[in-house]
A and B are shown apart, each in its own frame.
Chain A
């Protein structure tokens, strides 16, 4: 799935990936691939600016931590991030229900008696 297809939904997707607990950039990308069954496969480098934007908006907080001799920037949801995720879910449910209904093929018109 290309980045353009995800436009407008990436923030919600990243918040959902972070919902189970704190995670660092590469692990977030791996979770994103795994949870989408490989459908979402963005260039990993472009996910970091999106995480920084969420941090600036107060939806995630980030801190450097060290494990296994490597420093990593770890992200976790803030309470505002959890509320935003609920909002994204609700918006997506309404949107997908509406689009599904619209894309559904209409039943063929009943043959008129001649």
Chain B
């Protein structure tokens, strides 16, 4: 298990209303992998993300993330788990009253990084995502693609071993979507384990990566290649 970044061992999650969000899911994602998780709305993708981030606890089964056994992880230790996972959302979730620089630096402040390190790291991350010149801009002044780049810079600034992107291209046009995917691929090549939750068929097919397909809360396929699952 030493090379495993994320392990779901027979995991099920039922909500209080009795609905099974995911059922007997077995997934193993190794260090440095690039994985797509695909599925229709209501398939259980969001539950999967919440379980990885320990926003939810499984009803049965075991979950390991970067060597941490989440079932027994105390609430006070949850921040340490989340610092191992950079998260990018479809709606960017930037703080609109703060500049690009401050949005990225915010993630460093939160983990109580030394001030001397913050400037260096933030500048490097903004250069990586191609926004070094726009550090003074506010989110309202940026395009969708640029906003998502800021979100990626924020997710990566703490140097997490895992990047979890939830529909990162959902609000972007085709051109920007490709730019973001290339950026994620570049980040993956630098050693970060990248997990992208999406239902963008075109991108998944073109990237030729490992694809885990979820349908009605169950893993129905897990293979290299493209978006093969059909309803």
Partners in one complex: no
